[in-house]
Homo-oligomer: A and B are copies of this chain.
Amino acid sequence: MEQRKSVTEEKKQNAVAIGEYLLEKLQAYNIKHVFGIPGDYVLSFYHLLEQSPIQHIGMTREDAAGYAADAYARVNGMGAVCITYCVGGLSMTNSIAGAYAEKSPVLVISGAPGMKEREKDPLLHHKVRSFLTQKLIYDQITVASALLDDPITAFDEIDRVFDSVARYKRPGYIELPRDMVDVKGRRHHRPAVSAAPSDPDVLRAAATEAVDFINASENPVILAGVELDRFGFQDKLLRLMETTNIPAAATLLGKSVIGEKHPLYLGIYEGAMGRFEVREFVESSDCVIILGAFMTDMNLGIYTANLDRGRSIYATSEKIAIKYHTYEDVTFNDFLDALLAAVIRQRQLPALPWLEGKKESVAIQPDSPMTVRRLFDILNAFIIDDMMIIADIGDSLFGSIDLKMHQRADFVSPAYYTSMGFAVPASIGAQLGRPDQRALVLVGDGAFQMTGMELSTSVRFGLNPIVIVLNNHGYGTERQLHEGAFNDIGEWHYSQLPAVLGSGRGFVVRTEGEFDFALKEALANTGSFTILDVQLDKLDRSPALMRLAEKLSKKL
């Protein structure tokens, strides 16, 4: 009897509530910050969250919290956002859709009406059509979703969603009814379902063909994509490059998957939008090894790329193909390992003349008006080792093509989904995820007006981003495609924001001299944000945008 009682005691002590289990899992996945905004349906869980070692980062808007969690996931491996039912969750649909599109592993936790409250299907506040509306919407933009309506299955459901998010690097959705937060769940010893392994024969065949193909080629080249970063394969890439002396270009979405000062790094390949020399090098290669790249319109310079399948090896988490045929049942990881284990001959270091001796002068012309081109030239000299770039879309992104990132994974941008307003809130997630780095944010004036006030959150949590507003007085990219009054926006005095936010420094920049001065001041202002309102001509643009606009306007 004595013994039995103590087992029961122990069981009782071990019983964990659903909300507590969720917090345990977050910590197990190295999540130290959760972004979000409270609301009455999620307050009980917020109460637990506050008592846990995880820090809650309150934002001004849910969509901004989604962007921050996305950026945090990109630099940390996984991110999480916690919001209330419908008014919170449905305000974040776009941010999570972007994370889905670009494979960023974000876990969404939503509070919800209690299961008991739902019984007679009453009209509770925040309900849209049915109590399932929000879940049905999230089913479209996540790889796994669960409504924790049963304590018997809740832990398994939580495990399933976390597993899927980690494996597919896409968002997952967990809906936690408020009357389930403190209910004890059941731990199962569910055998961990590991990813399906490669078929050894098929793997051998694929690797052999690939290695023979590479070894027989004259001038192979690697095209490195963002999945190398998402799956943590950057070291494998580097090893492949350095043991063989095969150089690599990166896609736009994969920018900074390798340190861009590496002598074997060619630059961004992006069809007609990218640098001519990089395009030449890649498209004239007789063996293009494409690793972890999504073949999106933006990555391919709006389909101006000219990549011949007959001369390529294509490997991602979703597909392994050589020339015109596909190998099923081979994982990306195993394929990469097989390449590294095989004997690929080492070549002479290739001649990359456009990279040599190219120390462009950035001598400041103090009275010259600022242009987009000069802005990026000057920034290239300004960037320091422990700085990451968070680029919004438009010329903030296109102009960045030629920025040289010093280290890996220090360039973050929604380069495929291209949702305006990503950068300022994302900088919060990125800086919290990598506190050793300072964030330099590049953002257009239109995008800043969407989410720039999130600097309020930077102030609250002591972050110090340098925000450069490329102020071309409207939706500049669209002006290139189709001009109309609808491309105009209100004129904000961005440099006055410190007066509203009670912190930070602001500068209006019209000339190179003013830009140089403001950048130096920004670097010295380590205690808060600095915002530079860089006044540009309405029609000024980077060379890449000029080329893009030409291509896009033909498709309208």
Residues of A within 8 A of B (CB): 38-40, 43-44, 46-47, 49-50, 56, 58, 60-61, 63, 86-87, 90-91, 93-94, 97-98, 100-101, 114, 117, 122-129, 133, 136-137, 140-141, 178, 294-298, 303, 416-421, 449-450, 453, 456-457, 459-460, 475, 477-478, 481-482, 484-494, 496-497, 499-502, 552, 555-556
Contact = CB atoms under 8 A, between A and B. Distances in A.
A50 B481 contact: no
A43 B482 CA distance: 7
B482 A490 contact: no
A228 to B, nearest CB: 18
A125 B417 contact: yes
Contacts of A449: 60-61, 453, 456
A420 B87 contact: yes
A125 B124 CA distance: 37
A251 B136 CA distance: 31
Contacts of A94: 86-87, 90-91, 93
Nearest to A178: B556
A105 to B, nearest CB: 16
A459 B297 contact: no
Given A125-B298, A297-B123, A416-B123, A97 B101 contact: no
A40 B553 CA distance: 9
6 contacts: A38-B484, A56-B486, A122-B295, A133-B141, A491-B502, A492-B502
Nearest to A56: B486
Given A86-B97, A449-B453, A456-B492, A141 B128 contact: yes
Given A86-B97, A133-B141, 8 more contacts: A38-B486, A46-B482, A86-B94, A87-B420, A90-B93, A101-B127, A125-B417, A500-B500
Copy total for this chain: 2
Contacts of A127: 101
Nearest to A101: B128
A88 to B, nearest CB: 8
A478 B61 contact: no
A491 B456 CA distance: 8
Contacts of A418: 87, 125-126
A496 B502 CA distance: 10
Contacts of A497: 500
Contact of A450 (B61, B294, B486): B61
A262 B44 CA distance: 44
A123 B501 contact: no
Contact of A90 (B58, B97, B296): B97
A499 B489 contact: no
B50 A484 contact: yes
Nearest to A141: B128
A128 to B, nearest CB: 4
A132 B200 CA distance: 38
Given A123-B295, A140-B129, A500-B492, A58 B416 contact: no
